[in-house]
Amino acid sequence: MVGVLVGLIVASALAYAADYLLWRYKLSTGHSPYGTLTVQYYYSIQEKNGKTEYDFQPPQQERCVNSLFPHSGYSPCWYERKHPEKAITI
């Protein structure tokens, strides 16, 4: 049981290290590791009567990173494609 857990931790660390090195390689060779996606933001406003009002904003371009894990403060593009709407709860 402990061996399996250690193996999973080591495999995860190796996957992240390989992803990071590939991202740094793309960055240093002039290949852009970044992409852009259109994201729809909306405000989710709780009203006093228990109802929720949604206020949709115009779609915006958002930068993402073409990798398996997040790097440099940007989310991976594969994750952003699955979540094109972002709620801001008030």
Please say whether the beta carbons of 39 and 29 come within 8 A: no
pLDDT of residue 14: 97
Amino acid identity, residue 55? D
**Residue in the block written with tokens 């930068």:** 63
Query: What digits encode the pLDDT tens for the residues 57-88?
Result: 999 999 999 999 999 999 999 999 999 999 99
Q: How do the domains of the chain map onto residue ranges?
A: 2-89
| pTM, 2 dp | 0.78
CA 54 – CA 41 distance, rounded (Å): 10
Tokens representing residue 42 in the block: 């909306």
